[in-house]
Chain A
Amino acid sequence: MKSPDKPGKPPQFNSPAEFFAQALAIEIEASERYAEIADQMEVHNNHRIAEIFRKMAHIESLHRDEIKRRAGDALIGGRPASFSWLAPEGPESIDLGDVHYKMTPRQALMLARHNEERATAYFEAIAEAAADPEIRAFAQTMADDERHHVALIDKWLDKYDPDDVDWSEDLDPPVISD
């Protein structure tokens, strides 16, 4: 199980609009990433996991839409002037190197939980550091939402037993070279 990353220095925002746009970008990226991984799993016939990631993508898309609604007129076309697609990955996006075609539901949910925890820590750090009351309040709401997602995943995890030790065994493996 991954341990939550230590939050770095919280980012600074010049206006609530910048923060709304950043939060929106994080949710868009998270939703798209879950959908991409669901596609990967579908292509590799791991439909159980595809379904889990598809649900996670849906949850994040609802969150994305909620942020759009809350942001209202404060949003600058979805991204602030300083927003860059070259920025590091958002705190809520699964690392594409962390998935496996034979992964189990428990592993998929633990990855999702890890991201939700990272997102909680990220928004909490902003809420603590922000001078602007609007940013502070919205960041705290975001952190609460993410914490709620962690709780949801914990309930979901209860449905699954611990993984078998041979979870990655493939009875029809690629023709391996060793």
Chain B
Amino acid sequence: MNMIPTPAREFKPADFKSSVKPVWCPGCGDHSVLVAFQRAMAELALPPEQVAVVSGIGCSSRMPAYTNCYGFHGVHGRSLALATGLKVARPDLTVIVASGDGDGFSIGGNHFLHACRRNLDVTYIVMDNRIYGMTKGQPSPTTEPDWDTAISPGGTGVSPFHPLVIALASGANFIARGFTGNIGHCARLIVEAVRTPGFSFVQLLSPCVTFREDQQRVWRNVVHEAMVPETDDPARAARRLMTDDGFNLGVLYRGARAPYQPRPLANLDPSHFESEFAI
């Protein structure tokens, strides 16, 4: 639903770039996610004013500032709650959420489950570097249990969170994984995620060059295209994701569940909202 008819426009990635210079460390995978996002938006030919980018807190959550789409830099772990409210109120907007493994799976873990279950037509991009980068390198929910540092001597010993399995079990309609070493592929996944109705979850492996210097090189060598084609069968997807090595790239599940969207009341005027706030 587009309130203002506009002629078809052609876009370039640069049309989605703001004047704010990213402060991410040079070499950080998040720079590649930003480029992939801009390319995806250009490919989708979505006018910037019809896209809202919502985030929480963390390195990844700086994303809204770096695009000239509408943006909301919210509080820690609550990006999906904000995005849910926005999509319900403005179903005409394309709502994209940018998050990280700490913000999205720890602080915002409960919102993640229910956003998948609710299945609003929202795209959730999680830049996963398996660490809290902004707060100087604490282990996150996806950190390997034996990652041994001064801050976690001998490793945490805690099994990592498996976000794709949890997304499937909770009802997400589209599940994919990419690696920032391949920007074109990440852009394709974002395009597919936006085009697929319902809640789309895209995990982008995005190396942290400052606190996990080895990550980029190691991941570049171990990521691989998923050996099997995407499936719409949740049982088959569950088996695949349960045995997944964490480095399978591609669309791993695409369901056909109808998105949830409360129907907006027709012919609302401002007095309606005034009445709701009346004491």
User: Would you give the shortest CB distance from A136 to chain B, in whole angstroms?
Assistant: 27
Contacts of B154 in A (CB 8 A): none
Contact B184 A97 (CB under 8 A): no
Contact B21 A44 (CB under 8 A): no
Tell me if A145 is interfacial: C-beta within 8 Å of chain B: no
Contacts of A86 in B (CB 8 A): 39-40, 43, 184, 187-188, 191
User: Would you give the shortest CB distance from A43 to chain B, in whole angstroms?
Assistant: 5
User: Would you give the shortest CB distance from B223 to chain A, in whole angstroms?
Assistant: 12
Cα distance A43–B32 in the bound complex, in angstroms:
17
Contact A97 B13 (CB under 8 A): no
| Total CB contacts across the A-B interface at under 8 A | 87
Tell me if B254 is interfacial: C-beta within 8 Å of chain A: no
Task: Tell me if A's interface is mostly helix, strand, loop or mixed.
Answer: loop
Contact with A along B42-75 (1 / 0, CB 8 A): 1100000000000000000000000000000000
User: Would you give the shortest CB distance from A17 to chain B, in whole angstroms?
Assistant: 16
Cα distance A98–B183 in the bound complex, in angstroms:
14
Partner of B14 from A32, A77, A101, A176 at Cβ < 8 Å:
A32
Knowing A85-B13, A96-B35, A97-B207, the reply to whether A40 touches B26 (Cβ < 8 A) is yes
Tell me if A42 is interfacial: C-beta within 8 Å of chain B: yes
Contact A97 B180 (CB under 8 A): yes
Cα distance A138–B272 in the bound complex, in angstroms:
64
> From A89, which residue of chain B is reached at the shortest CB distance?
B183
User: Would you give the shortest CB distance from A60 to chain B, in whole angstroms?
Assistant: 14
Contact A101 B188 (CB under 8 A): no
Cα distance A165–B149 in the bound complex, in angstroms:
25
CB proximity to B under 8 Å, residues A10-45:
32, 36-37, 39-44
Q: How many chain-B residues does the 8 Å CB contact rule pick out?
A: 40
> From A87, which residue of chain B is reached at the shortest CB distance?
B184
Cα distance A95–B181 in the bound complex, in angstroms:
8
Contacts of A98 in B (CB 8 A): 27
User: Would you give the shortest CB distance from A113 to chain B, in whole angstroms?
Assistant: 19
Contacts of B261 in A (CB 8 A): none
Contacts of B177 in A (CB 8 A): none
Knowing A86-B39, A100-B27, A177-B151, the reply to whether A39 touches B21 (Cβ < 8 A) is yes
Tell me if A169 is interfacial: C-beta within 8 Å of chain B: no
Contact A89 B184 (CB under 8 A): yes
Contacts of A103 in B (CB 8 A): 26
User: Would you give the shortest CB distance from B192 to chain A, in whole angstroms?
Assistant: 10
Cα distance A16–B29 in the bound complex, in angstroms:
36
Tell me if A174 is interfacial: C-beta within 8 Å of chain B: yes
Cα distance A97–B220 in the bound complex, in angstroms:
10
Tell me if A84 is interfacial: C-beta within 8 Å of chain B: yes
Contact B13 A39 (CB under 8 A): no
User: Would you give the shortest CB distance from A97 to chain B, in whole angstroms?
Assistant: 5
Tell me if A166 is interfacial: C-beta within 8 Å of chain B: no
CB proximity to A under 8 Å, residues B1-49:
10, 13-14, 21-27, 29, 31-32, 35, 39-40, 42-43
Cα distance A177–B149 in the bound complex, in angstroms:
6
Contact B23 A43 (CB under 8 A): yes
**Which B residues form the contact surface with A (CB < 8 A)?**
10, 13-14, 21-27, 29, 31-32, 35, 39-40, 42-43, 136-138, 148-152, 180-184, 187-188, 191, 207, 209-211, 216, 220
Given contacts A44-B25, A86-B188, A87-B184, 5 further A-B contacts (CB under 8 A): A39-B22, A86-B39, A98-B27, A100-B209, A174-B136
Question: What are 29 A-B contacts defined by CB distance under 8 Å?
Answer: A32-B13, A32-B14, A36-B31, A39-B21, A39-B22, A40-B22, A43-B23, A85-B13, A85-B43, A86-B40, A86-B43, A86-B187, A87-B184, A88-B184, A89-B183, A95-B181, A96-B31, A97-B180, A97-B181, A99-B26, A100-B209, A175-B136, A176-B136, A176-B211, A177-B149, A177-B151, A177-B152, A178-B148, A178-B151
Q: What 9 A-B pairs are tightest by C-beta distance, nearest first?
A: A177-B137, A178-B149, A85-B39, A177-B149, A177-B151, A99-B26, A40-B26, A39-B21, A85-B43
